[in-house]
Structure formats: C-alpha cells, structure tokens
C-alpha cells in the first residue's frame, strides 16, 4: 500500500515525489515518458522580473530563495550538474521604455534582483541602442539533466514505473485508491497539459499553450548571460544557444512548424548582428491555466484525489517552492496560498 501514487514524472511530479519520499512517505510515480512532456522541451530559464510590464514575479523572494537553495542541494546529492545561474539582460525597446523602467525601479522589492545602472552590450554583436536592464538571480536549469538525475534517484528508491496511466482503470473510494494491482491512500495528478483529458480535473479551466524553441549556433557571441528582446538567447555549450519561444493557443499537438521557426529566426535577426545557423527545433505544450496561476489542491468530491499542476511557462521557478508548500499541506495540514488553491475555481 502506497501513501501516494503520483501520475506524471515531469518537473512537477518528480520534484514532489522527491520531497514526499524525503519526509518518509511511501510513493510511486507513474510516468509515460514518450507522451508530450513540456519539461524536456523547456529552455529552463528562471527570471524574477518578467512580462512586458517588467513586473516582479509572484512571491519572488520566497520562490527565488528556495530555487537557489533547492537545485544546488540536489546537484550535490545526485552528483550531477544542471543549475547555471546567469544574469538576464532585457533590452529596452525605446527611450520611453527605458524611462519607464528608471521611474519604476524605485518601487520596493526590486533591489536584490537588479543592477541599477543601465547596461550596454557590444553594438557589433547586439542591436541595443537603448541599453538593457540587468536582472540578477536568473539563470538556466538544464531540465533534461535534472530530470534524468531525479528519475535515476527515484528508480534507486523503487519509486517510479514507466507506463501509461489509464484514467478509466482507477477505482476511487473514500478509504482507498486501486489502480490495477496497486493500492494507495491517495492519488496526485501531475500530468501536465494532459490534465485536459483527466476526467477528475478536466472541470478546471486549463488553457494549454503550444510553444516552439530553436537551437542555434552563433560564433563569438555572449556565453555568460541570457539576452532577451522578443526572444531569449540562452547559452548552453560550445557556441550553441536556445532561442525562443513561441506562444500558440490553437495548436494542440507538440508539432514543430515552419511558421514557428520563421517567427523565432526573424526576431533573432533583429537582435543579433552576427550570422547564426539553426541546428535544432522542438515543440511542447505548456500546462497553462486560464488565470495564469498554478492548480494545487484537493478534488471537491473525492478527498483522496489531488492535483499539483498548471505551472504554465514558469515551472522551473515555481516548482521548488510550491512543492515544499504542497508537501506541507499534504503531510501537516498546512494551508495553501489562496492564489494557487483550486478552491478559487469552485
């Protein structure tokens, strides 16, 4: 008998399983890796100041303190490297844009996340007549390497099984969950954008977003920072960069398109002044929600069914903190933040 069966072994399910196992719970993750999985397509950027309005992300202090502690701790424990802090340069569009920021940066909360002076990049490499805002505490999680390390650890704990979970085969009673020959006290869905097909939680307003990303080779370019204007340029290794990404609400399958590639390449050409060559192209579906907040909590009728999902385009920054909060909720009856509690939808 398990305490928790977790459906989905992406960033959300694997991290939550790690937290619960460390607290002594008996856990089994069921994951079908060949399905679309947003986590392995993700660029892995974490950045505390986002959006057109250059706003501080929700609970930035808690999120960023937690992620800067959590990922390096796991690197040591797993003996693998996947966490790369990098400054993030957001290029200004105009003098107006630059001035708006200069007024705004006096607001409280920004201090620990920014370099106050406007930065200028080498004009021969990057078109940046209005300079850039330099954001600190940003960087990249190599999501593939992270998931591989975590799934190997889960395998070593006999806590993951790679198979499809058939929603119609689950028997739910108030005391126990039965799934084929497995029994559990509770079931937690971390099934990403597949929540749309989940008969228990498809009542929530999910709004998955298709996204495409390119890998490009750019000789003699910045390898020590992320640069963003319309698209991000994120260094990986050996003059290779991830560039993206697109947002498309009409495509429901994780297919790459020539329109997506063209959109990214056009924006990249406007920003980067040197030649580049596209060497890779991927697509995935972000598990986004209508109000752009995660979905955490208990099913309104079945007390032993839970969801931990809806991380949209920010799973890398949200999941370390929210998995800690959710573990505390499951094991110690702690309250969930109302912004992410699915009670808000009822």
Ligand X SMILES: Cc1cc2nc3c(=O)[nH]c(=O)nc-3n(C[C@H](O)[C@H](O)[C@H](O)COP(=O)(O)OP(=O)(O)OC[C@H]3O[C@@H](n4cnc5c(N)ncnc54)[C@H](O)[C@@H]3O)c2cc1C
Work out whether 204 is an interface residue with ligand X (CB under 6 A): no
Q: Are 1 and 185 in contact (CB under 8 A)?
A: yes
Q: Is 25 or 307 the residue whose CB approaches ligand X more closely?
A: 307
Work out whether 233 is an interface residue with ligand X (CB under 6 A): no
Out of 152, 164, 180, 279, name the contact with ligand X by CB under 6 A: 164
Beta bridge partners of 161: 30
Backbone angles phi, psi at 336, to 5 degrees: -90, 150
| 48 vs 27: CA distance, rounded Å | 32
From the list 90-98, 220-228, 265-273, 312-320, the region that binds ligand X by CB under 6 A is 312-320
Out of 4, 5, 6, 11, name the contact with ligand X by CB under 6 A: 11
Residue 111, Cβ neighbours under 10 Å: how many? Answer: 10
Q: Which runs of consecutive H residues, i.e. helices, occur in the chain?
A: 11-22, 38-41, 60-78, 95-104, 143-156, 258-271, 315-332
Out of 5, 17, 20, 37, name the contact with ligand X by CB under 6 A: 37
Q: How far is CA 66 from CA 273, 316, 321, 323, in A?
A: 37, 11, 6, 10
Work out whether 139 is an interface residue with ligand X (CB under 6 A): no
Work out whether 136 is an interface residue with ligand X (CB under 6 A): no
The CB-of-191 to ligand X minimum distance in angstroms stands at 4
**How many residues interact with ligand X (rule CB under 6 A)?**
43
Work out whether 320 is an interface residue with ligand X (CB under 6 A): no
Work out whether 35 is an interface residue with ligand X (CB under 6 A): yes
From the list 41-49, 79-87, 97-105, 179-187, the region that binds ligand X by CB under 6 A is 41-49
Which own/partner pairs from 120-126 qualify as long-range (CB within 8 Å, at least 24 positions apart)? 121/89, 121/91, 121/222, 121/227, 123/273, 124/273, 124/274, 125/220, 125/221, 125/222, 125/272, 125/273, 125/274, 126/91, 126/222, 126/227, 126/271, 126/272, 126/273
Work out whether 128 is an interface residue with ligand X (CB under 6 A): no
**What 3-state DSSP class applies to 159?**
coil
Q: Is 128 or 228 the residue whose CB approaches ligand X more closely?
A: 228
Q: How far is CA 232 from CA 78, 91, 271, in A?
A: 29, 10, 10
CA 113 to chain CA centroid, Å, is 19
Work out whether 314 is an interface residue with ligand X (CB under 6 A): yes
Work out whether 316 is an interface residue with ligand X (CB under 6 A): yes
**Both tokens of residue 277?**
């060559």
Q: Is 7 or 28 the residue whose CB approaches ligand X more closely?
A: 7
The CB-of-47 to ligand X minimum distance in angstroms stands at 8
Residue count of the chain: 346
From the list 29-37, 65-73, 131-139, 266-274, the region that binds ligand X by CB under 6 A is 29-37
Work out whether 114 is an interface residue with ligand X (CB under 6 A): no
The CB-of-339 to ligand X minimum distance in angstroms stands at 17
Work out whether 177 is an interface residue with ligand X (CB under 6 A): no
Q: Is 130 or 140 the residue whose CB approaches ligand X more closely?
A: 140
Report the greatest alpha carbon distance in the chain: 66
Work out whether 287 is an interface residue with ligand X (CB under 6 A): yes
The CB-of-102 to ligand X minimum distance in angstroms stands at 27
**Both tokens of residue 112?**
């620990």
The CB-of-124 to ligand X minimum distance in angstroms stands at 28
Q: What is the dihedral of CA 316, 321, 326, 331, to 10 degrees?
A: 130
Out of 3, 32, 80, 223, name the contact with ligand X by CB under 6 A: 32
Percent helix, strand and coil across the chain, each rounded to 5? Answer: 30, 30, 40
Work out whether 48 is an interface residue with ligand X (CB under 6 A): no
DSSP letter for 104, please: H
Query: Which residues form the interface with ligand X (CB under 6 A)?
Result: 7-13, 30-33, 35, 37-39, 41-45, 164-165, 190-194, 211-213, 244-245, 284, 286-287, 309, 311-317
């Amino acid at each position: 008998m398990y305490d928790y069966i977790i459906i989905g072994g992406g960033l959300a399910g694997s991290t939550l399983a790690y937290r619960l196992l460390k607290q002594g719970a008996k856990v089994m993750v069921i994951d079908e890796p060949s399905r679309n999985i947003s986590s392995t397509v993700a660029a892995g950027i974490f950045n505390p100041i986002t959006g057109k309005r250059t706003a501080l992300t929700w609970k930035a202090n808690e999120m960023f303190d937690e992620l800067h502690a959590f990922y390096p701790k796991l690197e040591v424990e797993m003996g693998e490297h996947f966490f790369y802090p990098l400054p993030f340069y957001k290029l200004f569009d105009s003098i107006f844009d630059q001035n708006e920021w200069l007024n705004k940066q006096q607001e409280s909360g920004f201090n620990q996340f920014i370099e106050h002076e406007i930065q200028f990049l080498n004009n021969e490499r990057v078109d940046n007549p209005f300079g850039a805002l330099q954001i600190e505490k940003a960087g990249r999680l190599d999501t593939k390497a992270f998931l591989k390390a975590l799934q190997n650890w889960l395998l070593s704990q006999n806590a993951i099984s790679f198979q499809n979970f058939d929603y119609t085969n689950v028997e739910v009673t108030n005391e126990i969950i039965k799934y084929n020959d497995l029994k559990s006290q509770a079931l937690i869905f971390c099934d990403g954008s597949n929540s749309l097909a989940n008969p228990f939680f498809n009542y929530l307003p999910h709004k998955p977003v298709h996204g495409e990303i390119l890998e490009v080779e750019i000789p003699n370019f910045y390898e020590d920072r992320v640069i963003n204007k319309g698209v991000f340029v994120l260094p990986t290794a050996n003059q290779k960069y991830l560039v993206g990404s697109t947002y498309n609400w009409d495509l429901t399958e994780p297919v790459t398109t020539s329109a997506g590639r063209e959109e990214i390449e056009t924006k990249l050409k406007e920003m980067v002044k040197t030649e580049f060559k596209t060497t890779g192209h991927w697509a995935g579906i972000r598990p986004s929600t209508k109000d752009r907040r995660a979905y955490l909590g208990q099913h309104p009728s079945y007390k032993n069914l839970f969801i931990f999902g809806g991380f949209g385009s920010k799973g890398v920054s949200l999941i370390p903190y929210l998995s800690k909060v959710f573990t505390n909720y499951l094991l110690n009856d702690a309250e969930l933040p109302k912004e992410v509690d699915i009670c808000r939808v009822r």
